[in-house]
Amino acid sequence: MRIGDAAAAAGATPRALRFYEQRGLLPPPTRTRTGQRTYGPADVARVRIIRELLSLGLTVEDIATLSDRLHLLDGDTLPQHILPAHIRIPEAAETFGRRLEVIDRQIARLIQLRQLLSVCHAQLTDIPAGEVGGGEPDVATA
């Protein structure tokens, strides 16, 4: 199938497929005599796996470190619970561990931000209506 059909089947865009190819996430596709890319079902399944990994918070660079092992996943979705033994590799554990650390830092930062906004909101909602702007009241309305 051509790039537009493959992209639609995978829930992506042709631009995304070219990007994944450029970054080494997808192997170079076969081409027609006129140079058009053609993709098969395995390519579509791989793009779906890539998109699922991206939705988990992994970066393109993270996935690139694992790209030579993506073919070990059967089907077009990640296992829901336990990864099969043949894809439990140290590189994947390290990549997922690094991403978990990043997410934990983001969560901590968001908790702090939420606490600050909560305090600010509480202070702003306790201010009498005439003092919302802060400072002295407008002389024309006083």
pLDDT at 93: 79
Question: What residues in the chain have per-residue pLDDT under 50?
Answer: 81, 134-135, 137-142
pLDDT at 94: 84
pLDDT at 57: 84
pLDDT in tens, 49-81: 899 889 888 899 988 988 887 776 656 555 554
DSSP assignment of 84-125 equals PGGG--HHHHHHHHHHHHHHHHHHHHHHHHHHHHHHHHHHHH
Q: Is the pTM of this model over 0.75?
A: no
Q: Which domains does the chain have, with CATH numbers?
A: 3-128 (1.10.1660.10)
Contact call for residues 45 and 76 (beta carbons, < 8 A): yes
**Alpha carbons 49 and 119: distance in angstroms, whole number:** 42
Tokens of 30: 């076969």
